[in-house]
Structure formats: structure tokens, C-alpha cells
Amino acid sequence: MRISIIDVDTLSRNWWAVVLRGVAGVVFGIGIFLMPGLSLAVLVLLFGAYAFVDGIFGIVSAIRRRGTSDRWWLLLLEGIAGVAVGIITLLWPGITAFALLYLIAFWALITGVLEEAAAFRLRQVITNEWLLVLTGLTSIALGVVLLLFPRAGVLAVVLWIGAYAFVTGILLIALGFRLRTMRGPSAPRAATGLA
């Protein structure tokens, strides 16, 4: 199977969706740092909204890539995971701190693994693609830290989540603008036959 220029064109045409996902993360992260003493209920609602919006953007991107990429379903799975976690947290606002912690940890792990799979695929099309790799590693790191230290104080967990959202948002914004520069047939490097 060959990666065509259409994959690059599809990604570059939808660069704005990647940037919007990044902006949502940065706004969420800044909000957490400005108000670290948020109650657990407010954190649940903010995280639920963030995961839901991030998931919607993932699903939209996947649907737009459906006809041009055979791996569009990885982005779809990531989007579905985000929407599912968002719905669970919004419908279950009385969730306990530990249940929320594990829900966020598993969401971050699943998202990170899927982002790493997408990065592996994208690196065949974009030279030295490290932004999505770092995004995936950041997600996996958050999941691991939350699972290894579940008894950390709620404030520490809130700050970890805020830092994760902020860093991931910055990386996604940078990736989106990098994809924007690849528009059209004069893309810096389109794969010529990698499987």
C-alpha cells in the first residue's frame, strides 16, 4: 500500500481542526493554572467539556480523511474515546476523585497510544515529524503518572492535568501550523512509496 499526496493534502486542508484542538487544550490548561483551587465538581465539568470537544474534532478529522487514508479509523477511535469520556464525566458529575483520576489516566493512555500510531503513519509523509510523537508521549506520561501516584493530592492532580492540556495544546497548535505550510502539490516531502 502506498501513501499518496492526497493524505498530505487532506491533513493540510484540515490544519485548522488540529489548531482548534490545541487552542482548547491551552485554554483549559491556563484556566486550571489560574484557578488551581477549583472544586472537584468544577474540574469534572471542565475536563468533561475539554475531552468532549477534543473528541468531536478528532471525529470530524477522521470523517474528512475517510476516503483518502486507510488509517482514518485511528483518529476516529481517539475521537470516540474523547467523546465517551466527556459524556461520562458530564453525566456523572458526582464522580469520586479516584474514579475521575482513573478515567483520565486511561483516556490519556488510549489517546497517547493512538497518537503514537498516527505519528508513525504521519512520519512517512512529513520529514522529522516529532510534534505528534511528543503529543502522544505527553498523553502516555500523564496516564502513567496518574496510575503510579493515585494518592497524590487533588491539587497536584489538577496541576498535572492542566500542564498536560497546556503542553499538548501547544504541540497541536505547532503541528497544525506546520501542516498548513504543506498545502498543495509543492509540499516539502510527499512519500513516494512507503507502506
pLDDT at 62: 83
pLDDT at 94: 67
Percent of the chain with pLDDT over 70: 78
What does pTM read for this prediction?
A: 0.62
Mean pLDDT of 162-166: 89
- What is the residue-wise DSSP string for the chain? ----HHHHHHHHHTHHHHHHHHHHHHHHHHHHHH-TT--HHHHHHHHHHHHHHHHHHHHHHHHHHTTT-TTHHHHHHHHHHHHHHHHHHHH-TT--HHHHHHHHHHHHHHHHHHHHHHHHHHTTTSTT--HHHHHHHHHHHHHHHHHH-TTS-HHHHHHHHHHHHHHHHHHHHHHHHHHHTT-STT-S---SS--
Mean pLDDT of 103-126: 82
Read off the pLDDT of residues 24-64 as tens digits, 9 standing for 90 and up. Answer: 889 988 988 888 776 666 777 777 888 898 889 888 888 88
